[in-house]
Amino acid sequence: MCNAICCRAVGVRLVQLVTSLPARDDAVALARAAVEARVAACGQVVGPVTSAYRWEGAVRGEEEHLLLLKVPVEGVDALAAFIRERHPYDTPELTALDGPFIDERYLAWARAETVEA
C-alpha cells in the first residue's frame, strides 16, 4: 500500500494547476473542456476573487475566478499546453502546486481519468 512518503519516493504525485479567468463562465468552460479532453481529472472554480497586479506599467485590480485543475504530475505539461491554447489572457497564470500528501484512492482515480485513459 502506498503512503505519502513512498508516493513521493517513486515520483507518483498529483498537482493542482492554478489559473485565473475574467469570468465564471470562462472558468467553468475551460474546466469542462480540460476534463472532457482527459488532460485534467477535475476542475474547481473559486470566486470571484479580487486580483491586484502590475500590467503594462500600471497597477490594476480586477475581479477574476480561480480555476484549480487536478492532474498527475506526469500530465502537467500537457495540461499547461491545453490551457495556454485556450486561455483568453496573453500571459495567464499557470502555477503547479505539489501537495505533500495525496490520498492514494484520489490519486488512483485521477490517474485513471487522465494518464491511463
Q: Which domains does the chain have, with CATH numbers?
A: 14-113 (3.30.70.120)
pTM for the whole structure: 0.85
User: Counting beta carbons within 10 angstroms of the beta carbon of residue 28, is it exposed (0 to 12), middle (13 to 18) or buried (19 or more)?
Assistant: middle
Per-residue pLDDT of 46-86, as tens digits, reads 999 999 999 999 999 999 999 999 999 999 999 999 999 99
Cell 491511463 belongs to residue: 116
